[in-house]
Structure 1
Amino acid sequence: MVIEMILAAFLGCYVVSSLILFKFPMLLHKKKDVKFVCRHISHRGGAGENYENTISAFRHAVEVGTDMLELDCQLTLDGQVVVSHDSILDVRTESKGAISEYKYEELPLIREQVPIDFMPGTTFSGKSDDRRFPLLEETFQLFPNLPINIDIKTNNNELISKVSNLVKKYNREHITVWGNMKDEVTQKCYKENPNMCLLFSAQRVCLMLLQLYTGLLPFMPLKETHLEVFMPVQMMRIYSKNFGEKWWYSVIAKIANTLLIRRSLFEHLSKRGIQTYLWVMNSEEDFRSAFEAGATGVMTDYPTKLRAFLDSNPQYTQDHKLS
């Protein structure tokens, strides 16, 4: 009986403490000092409005008024850090093989028509002559004060080191976010340069959710500064044809959405100085859903469309401020 009373008292204290710290995390944790807040993030510079990951795409996004550029990095044969999502050339050029097998000057131009990954069946075909792969350094030079989100696409120590060195060279540790879905890559990024803003890996997202639903999250330190996640029901809607008509896929997506897309979670992270971005959102319905869920910002292939939405709905730039 005494043991049961002790256990009940301990459990009660644990639950109450967890609830209090979930609501007021700064009682235990120091708020992260992130130097920027982004509502409008251009995915690959805006893959629906320009050739993705090109200087013309980045320029257009900046002209529209984006808060952040999202881009991807690879390493060429001669050790140049090039901006490209794919490690192989087959998908978006007429050449074959890996980028790592070519010197930078040998890289081909992007095809005139390229697929938009998050708009299945849709391609971009533009009039721009800028279809080359830019260097990351060139991007830093052209946009020195703009926050940039870097996805390290390959588990390559040299790539991670060179990206870090370029960030240091251009004095942009305070406005650069990096990482990858793979935890091994993200851990290497953090070890290489802990002063840069860091993304949650997929593994760390799963761990965070486990901690959330066991009440441990309010007690746990978090080294990451940015949570980038997709909305499962939205992804199910986009790629429904790939899954066929099996009803349980929809059920799984709805359950995952309920567990992950929680305003209370995003608000807790916000109070700890961690920003949440939802990707890749390309319609007004998606934009509204993301901001209503409490996301700090939205990542889109259509920067003009998102800018028009934010201009027409100023409440999403006023009410969703970091605590």
Structure 2
Amino acid sequence: MSSFRYSSAMGTDVLLEMDCHLTKDGKAVIFHDNDLSRLCGVEGTIGDFNYEDLPPLLIRPELQNDPIVTNDPESTKIPLLTTVLDAFPNHAMQIDVKIGPLDLVKQVGRAIVDRKREHLTVWGSFKTEVGQMCEDQFADRIPRFLTMPKAAKALGLWSVGLLWTMEFREAAFIMPNVKWAMWPGFLRGLNRRGVAVIMFGIPGGGINTVEGYEAAKVAGANGICSDRPTLLREWLKTNKLRTVEEAFD
């Protein structure tokens, strides 16, 4: 919650990125990793604990004296999805339903629809089976992003000039900054099919250097996922990312 509040307070059109898991007692929470060891220092997964028994988040050493963290009583609490949605009702969000089950998909989708924020949200999963659940339960009501297998298929078809044969009902491709996929023609081709491209960093999740931002821009990304929103915002003052519409120019 501290990082979300910090990004929100910057006053930019920030898109908050988050991953969802289901607790043992059936509550949808925001948490990145598949297990608790790195972020909480304990064994197990989110699904092993009831919500009230979840361990606190660890504070990284460089942030332990940061007032943004130390003055926030929720800085170590794993938040409920509904808490985040209600705290930032007007912010665009990218929500990754990390690992099913179907109940998690239903909860996340219903939370989005009930708050009438379909136009502010792109959701889905990199996993085919979970992405299919999202489509089956809510069809095209909530914009979805590509699963990784479908994205790999799109790249393969583009490489032989057949991207035009694919049907895209998805609104976005959340892609890693791996060189073998960062072809400007491929990203432009996706844009021309109405698919926006948001790029994240490998390893670690965020693109966190100016050099990384520059490479994403050259490739034609429409958005960048970063753990350093202040640095990214400063860079964006003098660097414009291409819009989907500009791919037709």
TM range (shorter): 0.7 to 0.9
Aligned length: 232
Encode CA deviations 1:169-225: one digit per residue, 9 max, x unaligned.
111122211122211111111111121111111100111112212322113211111
Tell me which amino acid in the other structure corresponds to 2:243. K
What corresponds to 1:192 in structure 2? 137
Encode CA deviations 1:247-286: one digit per residue, 9 max, x unaligned.
xxxxxxxxxx2xx212222222223321001112111011
Indicate which of 2, 9, 18 corresponds to 1:71: 18
Structure 1 position 288, deviation (Å): 1.1
- Normalising by structure 1, we get a TM-score of 0.68
Encode CA deviations 1:126-184: one digit per residue, 9 max, x unaligned.
53141110111011111111111111111211111110111111111222111222111
Aligned partners of 1:213 and 1:142: how far apart in 2?
Answer: 43
Indicate which of 125, 131, 135 corresponds to 2:76: 131
What corresponds to 2:51 in structure 1? 104
Structure 1 position 66, deviation (Å): 4.4
Structure 1 position 124, deviation (Å): 5.5
Indicate which of 162, 168, 172 corresponds to 1:222: 168
What corresponds to 1:266 in structure 2? 187
What corresponds to 1:321 in structure 2? 243
Structure 1 position 106, deviation (Å): 1.2
Tell me which amino acid in the other structure corresponds to 2:143. C
- Normalising by structure 2, we get a TM-score of 0.87
SS of 2:112's equivalent in the other structure is: helix
Structure 1 unaligned blocks of 5 or more: 1-54, 115-122, 234-256
What corresponds to 2:234 in structure 1? 308
SS of 2:169's equivalent in the other structure is: coil
Question: Where does 1:126-205 land on structure 2 (aligned, <5 Å)?
Answer: 127=66, 128-129=69-70, 130-194=75-139, 195-205=141-151
Structure 1 position 306, deviation (Å): 0.1
**Cα pair 2:30 2:78 within 8 Å, conserved:** yes
Q: What is the alpha-carbon root mean square deviation over aligned residues? A: 1.7
Indicate which of 8, 26, 29 corresponds to 1:82: 29
Structure 2 unaligned blocks of 5 or more: 202-206
**Cα pair 1:73 1:84 within 8 Å, conserved:** yes
What corresponds to 1:206 in structure 2? 152
Indicate which of 209, 213, 222 corresponds to 1:296: 222
Q: Percent identity?
A: 29
Tell me which amino acid in the other structure corresponds to 1:226. A
SS of 2:111's equivalent in the other structure is: helix
What corresponds to 1:8 in structure 2? none
Task: Tell me: higher relative CO, structure 1 or 2? Use CA pairs within 8 A at least 6 residues apart.
Answer: 1
Aligned partners of 1:125 and 1:190: how far apart in 2?
Answer: 41
Evaluate the alpha carbon distance shift between residue 124 and residue 205 of structure 1 in structure 2; reply closer, same or farther with a 3 A threshold: farther
Aligned partners of 2:153 and 2:63: how far apart in 1?
Answer: 37
Structure 1 position 226, deviation (Å): 0.5
279-288 or 173-182, which deviates more: 173-182
Aligned structure 1 segments of 4 or more residues deviating by more than 4 angstroms: 123-126
Tell me which amino acid in the other structure corresponds to 1:76. T
Encode CA deviations 1:59-86: one digit per residue, 9 max, x unaligned.
1111222420000111111211110012
